[in-house]
Structure 1
Amino acid sequence: MFDFSTLSTGIINGNPNFSVTYHLTSNDAITGTAPITTPIMVNATTIYYYRLKYVDPNNPINGCFQVGKFKFRSGNIVVNNATITSCNYDNTGIGYFDLNSANVYGPTNVVKKYYPTMADLTAGTNEITTPSAYASQAPKTVFVKITTNEGCTANAEITLQFLPALAVVPATVKACNNNNAGTGVFDLTAPDVYPTSTNVTKKYYPTLADLNAGTNEITNPAAYTSAAPKTVYVRVRNPQGCTGYNQITLQFNPVVTVNDASIEECYIESNVTTASFNLTVPSVTTQTGHTKRYYKTQADAIAGINEILNPTTYISTTAVVYVKVISIENCYAIAKINLKVLPPVQSAVLKDKIICIEDKTTLDAGPGFDAYEWSTGATTQSISNVSAGIYTVKLKTGKCWTLQQVKVIASVQPVITSIDINNDSFTINATGGKAPYKYSIDGVNWQDSNVFTGLPRGENKAYVKDAYDCNPISVQVTVPNLLNAITPNGDNKNDYIDYSALAYKKDLVFTVFDRYGNMIYKADKIRNYTWDGTSGGKKIVTGTYWYTITWTENDKDNTQTKYSGWVLVKNIQ
C-alpha cells in the first residue's frame, strides 16, 4: 500500500508554479485524466506514470507539461528476535503470553502473524489466532511474519519464558473477642504479606482448596468476622499475572472478663423516683489497666454512642446501665449495673388530725423505723401534748431518711349564714365545719333540728356546733312583736304597723306583698319604720297581706336575718 502524494514534495521542491499528478497509463498521464488520489497497493513490476505541469504566473493561459514513468523496487525490512515472559499460572506449567508485546519491529503500520513453528509460518498454516493471550508451555519459541503496507515481509523468533512465582510471606492477625462473643473482626489486609511491591492485588480465601479453585472469596477482608484460632489464605497477583500465596493465622487478643454489679441509693427529695448514683464505685472486673465507659443501653455501649458523661453523679430512676470495659488492645466486654432507687418509706399510721382549737393531741409515727427525728427535737416514736400546727418527722429506714409532714389542724367552726323568723319560730341556716350540726337556744340542751318554735318576742340567742363538738358559735336573734291587723281610719288605733323597735338593725328593709306575690310596698329606715296600708300613696283594698323584714345582725359574721309575717288590712272607703 503506497501513498503517491508522499513523492510530490521532493519533486516540486516548493515551487508554486508546478504541480504533479500520478497515473496508471501513459495516455492518462498525457491527457491529465484519472489521477491516483488515494493510496493503492503497488508492486515492483508495474509501470506507473507522472505528469509534471508548469503554469506561467504572468500569463496563466500559457503552460506546459512533461510526462514520465517509473517502477518501485523491493526493499528489505529489519526485524528483531525477542523474548517475552509470563507467569507459570498456579504452577500448572502453562502461561498466557501476549505475543503482540514482543518488540520485533518498530513501526506500527504492519501486519503480524504468529505461528507455532517455522514450518507453519512458511506454509501459512496453524496461525495463532489469539496472540494477545497465547496459552503455552515454556520455555518455547514461536515465529512471527511481519508484512509492511508496501508488501515487504520479514520473519522473527519470539522466545517464551516463565517468570518466577511471587514470594508471599505468612502472617498473623489478631482481633478482639469482644464481649466474649466467640468471634472477632479481623483486618486481613493489615499484614504486609508481599513486602517486595505494593503494586499487587490480593484476594483472600477461607481454605486452600477455595484459593486453588478461586471459590468462596472473602469479599470483606478488612472486616472479616471469624472464630479463632483459624487459618485463612491470601493470593497475591502482580500486574504481569504472576501469583503466590501463603497463610494468615487468626488469633484473639486477651479476653476482657467482667461481672455484673448493683447499686442502691436513697431517693432525691425533689424527685423521689430518682437517685444520684456513682457508677464508678462497683467493681465490674478484676483485671487492671482497663478503661471504663458508661451507657444507658447495651446497643449504645456496643456502638460507642451516647456515652454517660457524668458517671460519678448520674441521676436515674430504678434502671439498668451498661459499662464498657476496654483493654489496651481496644478490646472490650460489657457488664450490667443494676440501679435501684430506695424510695421514701413513710409512716402509714401517721395522719393529719383535726382538733378543736382549744384541744391538744398525740402524734404517733408507728413502729418499724430505725430512728425518728421530730421537728420538736424529740427522737421518740410519738410526741404528746401537741397543739394545732404543722410538724415533720424524719424516719430512718436502712441508710435512708424520709421526711414526713403531718398537720394538726384546728377545726373550722361552722358559720350561721342566715336566720329565718316566722312569727314566734325561727330556722337557723349554717355552713362550714363538719356536719351533722347540733343546735341550741341555751347552750346546754342540744337538738338535731335547726327549727325552734314557741319563742318569746324580743331578743333570743341561737347556738350551733359541728361534729367535732368544739365550743359552739352563737348569734343574737330578735323576734319582733308586730300587729296582725290594722285599720287605717285615722282614729289613732291600730292605724299602722310599727317596726321601729328594729331601727338599730343594719340594712333594715320592710316589704309587703299581695296574695299573688306582687310587691306593693317597700321601705327602709327613711320611712319612719311604719306602714299605714297604702301603696303608691293610695289605700289598698281590705285583705290579708304578707310581709318580710330583713336585716343584718351586728355580729362578726354579719348574719342575714329575715322575719316573715302577715297582716290583715281593713280599709274603709
Structure 2
Amino acid sequence: MRTYRFLFSLISFFCVAVTNYTKAQYINTNITYTAQDLVDKFIGAQNASCITVSNVSATGELFGGTDLSYGYFDKGSSNFEIDEGIILSTGRVSKASGPNNNLQSEFVSGWGGDNDLIDVLQQSGLPTDNILNATSLEFDFVSLQSDKISFDYMFLSEEYRNTNCRYSDAFAFLIKEANTTNPYQNIALVPGTSTPVTSLSINGATLCERNIEYFGGFNGVNTPTNFNGQTKVLKAIANIQKGVKYHIKLVIADHGDSSGLYDSAVFLKSGSFTGNVNIGNDLTLDNADPLCENIPYRIQPTPSINDPLAEYHWFKDGLPLSVPITQSYYDVLNDEGNFSVSIKLGSGCRLQGQVKIEKAPVAIIDTSPIMICDDDFDGRYIEKLSKFTNQIVTNFSGNFKVEYYTQAGIQINPDNNFEFTQNPQDITVKVGAFSCTPDAYTLRFYHGSQLQMNYPQQPAPATIPVFDVCDNELKGSKTVNLDDYIGLMTTETLNPADVKFYEKISELKADKPSISKSQTLSPTQAEKTFYIRISKAGNFCDNYSSFKLRFKQPKKSSILKDTIICKSTTTDLEVEPAFDYYEWSNGEQGTSVNKIKNQKAGDYWVKLTSNGCTYQQFVKISEPQDLVINNALIEGNKVTVFAANGIPPYQYSLDGQPYQTSNVYENVHRGQHIVTVRDACGTAVQSFTIIGVKNVITPNDDGINDFIDYSDLLTKSDPRFEVYDRYGNLVFKGDVNNQFIWNGKLNSRALSTSSYWYILEWNETGNPKRVQITGWILLKNRN
C-alpha cells in the first residue's frame, strides 16, 4: 500500500485547477484538500472546542498525479442527501460525480488492502479474500464534553446490481483507545444489529433483499453520483470516555475479485463528527416500551447541561420545533417521531442527542353483543373467550394484553372453556398495549337462536323423515346429491357450503368428519340414515336434524312388446292391470287405464307407477315393408323359396297347390312354375324354370325330337350351351339369336349320324355354385 501525506503545495505541483465542478444536477468533487483539511471539515469548526484532533494521515492512490482516491465533495444544486463532506473511494474521486453513465472500475498494480480491515472482517465472519485498493483516513481525538460520539455517512457502490448477491466491497469505521494494543471496534453497523454495512447486508434487489428500510435505492443515469446504488444516510455511534485519547480509522477497500472491479465509496457528512448527549432511551415498539396514550413524557439531557449560556435547538424528524432556545427540555404527549436536540455551549462547542419515540397502539374495541352457540348440541353454552379477542379488539396484535373478568372480578383464563349460565351474561374485558394501563369495557354475551329446521333436532325413530330414492331407470342403483334434500329439511336460504352431512350423530356434534354429498343406494343398502348440520353467516347458531333415504324400484310390463301391423290398420296396446297408475303417451291416464285401443303405427310410451316409483316403458308399432320373394333357389329338381318383409310366419304354394309351412319343394318337374308366399297381410308371387336335359335328336321333320330346345336358358344368368363332334370341333353354340335351340345342323348343313358332346352351364339366383351338365347327344339323320 502506498502512503501519502499531502500538503496543498504538493497537490498544486501535480495538478493545476484540479477542482472538478460538474453540471448543476451532479455533485462537485475536489482533491486539493490535505488530510488535515479533510479532518477539519469532518469535525467542523463549531466542534473544535469539544473535540481535539491530532496525528492525521490519509492513505490511498495518486493515479499518476492527476487524481486521488479521497477528497472533498459538495452537493452543488443537486438533490444529494448530504450537503458536503469527505469521499473515501476504491477508485478515482473525480469519477464519483454523476451522471451514472459509466462503470467505475479502477485497478493499480501494487495498490493493496488493509490489515486492520481484514482483521475486523474476519472477526465478523465475512470473507477476506482479494481485499485490494484500500483508502483510509486516520486521526487521534479527545472528547472534552461527551462520552459518546457519532457521525453521518452513506455507502455507495457499483456492486449494487440486481443480479449481485455474492460480492460486496468492504469498509469499516474502526475505533480504539490510542497508543494501545486493544482491538479495533467497528461502528459501521446496520442499525440495531452487529452486522457490518455492505451492499449485501443492506440491499433492495429482489433476489437478495435485506434490511431494505435502510436502502436508499438503485440509481438511474441522471443521478447526482456515478454509482449504481446507495444506502440512506446512516449514523455511526461509539461510546467513549471523556478526556481519553482515541484513534479512529475510516477505511474502505475492494473485495471479491482479483482486479478491483466495481468501485465503492463512503461519503462522510461534514461537521457530523460530534459529541452526543443522552436525552433518553428510544421508546419504540421493538423495545416493547412505546409511549402510552395520554401519558406525558419529557425529553431532556441526562445529566443536565450545567452551562447557563447553552442554546437548545429542538427538532422533530429533522424539522425545527417552536421552542425557546433556552428551554432544555421538550414535552411529548400523544406524539411520535425522531426527536433531536443540537446544543451550542457557551464555548461554541456543539453537542447533539436524539431519541426515537413511537406511540403505543390504542385498542379499537367493538362492544357489540356477542352470540354464544351450543355448537356440540349438548345443552350447554361453552366457549373459549380467546375465540372472541380479535372480534372485540378489532386491531388486535401481539402488542395488546387482553384480560377477561366476571362481574364479580374473578379473572377468567381465555384459553379455557367458560360456561355461560345466564342469558344475557356480562363479562369485563381489560385491554392495554405493552405496559400501558389497561382500559376496562363491559361485553354482553347472549345465547343465540338456532337456524330453523323443518324437523326437530332429536326426533324419535318413527318421526325421522324418510325420502324415497326411486331407481326409475331400473339400473340397479341410484346416485343422489344430498344437497337436493336441503330444501326439504329447512326453510332457511343457504349456500351449499353452509351445509354438511354425516353418517354418525357423534361426528356431527364434533363437526368432523363430514361425508361426500354424492351417495349411491342399491338393493344391498336399501335404507340409509344421514345427519345434516346447517350453518349461516350472521347472528345464527348451527342446527341439525336427520333423515333417511330408502331405495325403491318400480316394475315394468312383461307383456308390452314392439308390434308389427298391416298397413293402414290399428292395434291395441296393453299392460298388466297390476300397476297403481298409468299414463300413456296419447294422454290417457288413470288407475285402471292399462289398455289403449286402435293405435296406428308409431312410437308410444307408458308410465307405470308401482311401489311409489314410476317406470317409463317405450313401445313401437310398425308397418312392415311389402312382402317379397327374394329368390327361388333351384338345385336340380329341388326348389327352396326365400321370402322377406311382411309379417312372418309365411306360407308357401307351388303352382296353386295347397299352402304349406315349408319353403322347400322336392322333385319339381321340368318347365316353368309359379310359387306364391303369403303372410298375415298379403301375398307375393314369383315364377321360375326347371331346365330338362335331352340326349337324342332326330331331325326328320316328324315333329318328334326334331331339335333340342334349351330356350329356358334365357331365364338363367350367364347361360352356356355348346355341342362338339368327337374330334373336339365346335358344331353349335347357343345364344340369344338362336334361342339356345339346336336342329342338328352346322351352317344349315345336316350333320351325319353320330354321338356329339354337349356342355350346359348357368347360374341360379342365390346359389353361389354354377350349374354344369355335360354328356353325349345321339344324332340320327336319315342319311
TM-score scaled by length of structure 1: 0.45
Larger radius of gyration: 1
Q: Give the strand-richer structure, 1 or 2.
A: 1
